[in-house]
Chains A and B, each alone.
Chain A
Amino acid sequence: MAIGFHGQVLLENIDFNVRRGEIFAVLGGSGSGKSTLLRHLIGLDLPMRGEILVDGHAPRLGSRVPDCGVLFQSGALFGSMTLGENVALPLATWTGLSAREIAVVVQSKLRLVGLGGFENHMPSELSGGMKKRAGIARALALEPALVYLDEPSAGLDPSTSAELDELLLTLNRGLGTTLVIVTHELASIFAIAERCIMLDRDAKGPIALGAPADLRDHSRDPRVVAFFNRKPAGGEAQA
């Protein structure tokens, strides 16, 4: 697959699959195209070449990808709605549940992410970590088999970030939800990701695919080694 804008290729030779029930990470430095790739995976943009198949179906531009939930980097909670209304929106849109049934589901989803009792809070009253949790609750509202997460640890302190990783692991193991996580946080990658693909801005595509520990210990690509050892790529050449 190749993706880009206005006829200019941003990433090409992207070829990977995610197994059911897996936690898969998309890695890369800033500007490597991780979030752009995610926009294509969730149907907000179409690839220039090739195709994306989710359970055999290609996402349609601007439409909901069936059986998928998305957590955006900022949480993207609707500011004019309470947390309960945010989580209830997908349920009210796609299920024939009554208001009472929706309220029960909303409560259970918020409890699942540790926000039980916060149904009537507005997003502006929450901390960054709580917004991410609420975003996850909304992403899980329709019990999707696959959840995409864009930089879930961004802007969080290490302790909150670790708690979020723990929550994601619980969701993956408990509900069997497949998780595709876009991140550059090494701690999160090693804590939860089973496999990962690494993107590079200069290479305009993936430069590694495999288990994070394998890539760290066995990769000979200086860019991969630099990423996992947190050194600026090409730093040795400059010194």
Chain B
Amino acid sequence: MRELLAEPATRVRLDVARLRSLDAASAALLLELRDQLRAGGSEAEVSGAQGRVEAILDLVASSARGVAPRVARKSPGLVEQIGRNTAQVSAFALEVLSFTGEVVAAAAGALRDLRRIPWRSVWSLMERTGADALPIIALITFLVGLVSAFQGAITLHRYGADIFVADGIAIGVTREFGPLMVAIVAAGRSGAAFAAELGTMRVSEEVDALRTIGLDPYPYLVLPRVLALGAMVPILTMLGDAVAIAGGATVGVLGLDLTLASYLSETQLRLTFWNIFTGLIKSLAFAIAIALIGCKWGLATRGGAEGVGRATTSAVVTMLFSLVIIDAAFTLVFYAWDI
């Protein structure tokens, strides 16, 4: 075939009369050769086909006719790329704005009439996002308290300041690690579940079905999730703080020869209203962000099961990114206000 193409004759007859069978790939190659020869100016034909060979050649030829020629995609230039990305970002910003507006309207409506909130759904979500998350939260925060205490002890022990491990853990856990670790677990566990659930409802037309029944998905689906997570994450954070302090105390008592009473007494000094309050405010903001982002991505899902997977991944990435931004913003504000 390569020789034929390299030095094409003016007239080529591809005689397949003696072929008894032919597979589809060979038929496609044969027809491709004929077409290339014709394109090069030769008079080419496939002749002598009979029976099954003729049938498969006809099938391949007819299916090829229905295929639109593939147009090579021109890679976009820099200006076009900037334009496209700007349009995408603007569209996304508009979507977020519209989503926020819908949620605010739903919240305002619910405040006017609390019976509009599906409380049964809220209780069930509180159980799923709160009580069911306790074991994993306890394990992770205990280990964070333990590891942080070890890290602090290495330095503080050199200066004979072992007792300050308790101060470091109490402040670090209540203001920073507790809220952040609980929020990360909530994002991976509940936020991802919100995106997947709502995404599945979206692609299986359940969200449309809700609308045709006359139920707005924002008060019916989004608001209960925001309320449930907003209520449970601060509670989980308080419990996580306590377990992380217990992790730190384990290191203090077993590794640093501190007494439990002295460790707890030092911890108590640092458990001030502001240390606990700033952590809880952060955790509430984290919870609302996680719920809104999970619901936003879920309700924006397109394209079947694959779309649900994509939406869930995007939701978790956006949540983690947002947690860091919110955390940094709060820290700066608290620093500026000296609290």
Contact = CB atoms under 8 A, between A and B. Distances in A.
A17 interface: no
Given A62-B216, A238-B65, A78 B206 contact: yes
A7 interface: no
A39 B206 CA distance: 14
B214 A70 contact: no
Contacts of B209: 70, 72, 76, 78
Nearest to B207: A76
Contacts of A94: 214
B265 interface: no
Interface string A21-48: 0000000000000000001001110000
Nearest to B62: A238
Contacts of B204: 74, 76, 79
Interface string A57-86: 000001111001110111011110000000
A125 B155 CA distance: 60
Interface residues of B, number: 16
A42 B213 contact: no
A58 to B, nearest CB: 16
A85 B62 CA distance: 52
B35 interface: no
A94 B215 CA distance: 10
B49 to A, nearest CB: 17
B211 A64 contact: yes
Interface string B60-91: 00100100000000000000000000000000
A92 B1 CA distance: 74
Given A42-B212, A64-B212, A65-B212, A76 B65 contact: no
B205 A76 contact: yes
Nearest to B65: A238
Contacts of A90: 213-214
A72 to B, nearest CB: 4
A103 interface: no
A94 B210 CA distance: 13
Given A238-B62, A238-B65, A93 B215 contact: yes
B24 to A, nearest CB: 19
A62 B211 contact: yes
Interface in A75-111: 76-79, 89-90, 93-94
Contacts of A78: 201, 206, 209-210
B208 interface: yes
A63 B211 contact: yes
Given A62-B216, A238-B65, A76 B206 contact: yes
A43 B208 CA distance: 10
Contacts of B200: 79
A79 B202 CA distance: 12
B206 A64 contact: no
- Residue from B62, B212, B213 having most chain A Cβ neighbours under 10 A: B212
Interface in A136-152: 138
Contacts of B65: 238
Contact of B213 (A44, A79, A93, A238): A93
Contacts of A89: 213, 215
A72 B205 contact: yes
A173 B98 CA distance: 44
Interface string B182-219: 00000000000000000011001110111111111000
Interface string A11-22: 000000000000
Given A62-B216, A238-B62, A238-B65, A72 B208 contact: yes
B62 to A, nearest CB: 7
Nearest to B217: A62
Contacts of B216: 62
A94 B205 CA distance: 21
Contacts of B62: 238
Interface in B204-239: 204-206, 208-216
B205 A64 contact: no
Interface in B251-289: none
A238 B65 CA distance: 9
A76 B65 CA distance: 39
Contacts of B206: 76-79
A221 B106 CA distance: 51
A71 B128 CA distance: 31
Contacts of A74: 204-205
5 contacts: A62-B216, A72-B205, A76-B209, A79-B200, A79-B204
Which 6 A-B pairs give the minimum distances between C-beta atoms?
A: A64-B214, A76-B209, A76-B205, A72-B205, A70-B212, A90-B213
Interface of A: 39, 42-44, 62-65, 68-70, 72-74, 76-79, 89-90, 93-94, 138, 238
Given A76-B204, A94-B214, 17 more contacts: A44-B211, A62-B211, A64-B211, A64-B213, A69-B212, A72-B205, A72-B208, A73-B205, A74-B204, A74-B205, A76-B206, A76-B209, A78-B206, A78-B209, A79-B204, A79-B206, A90-B213
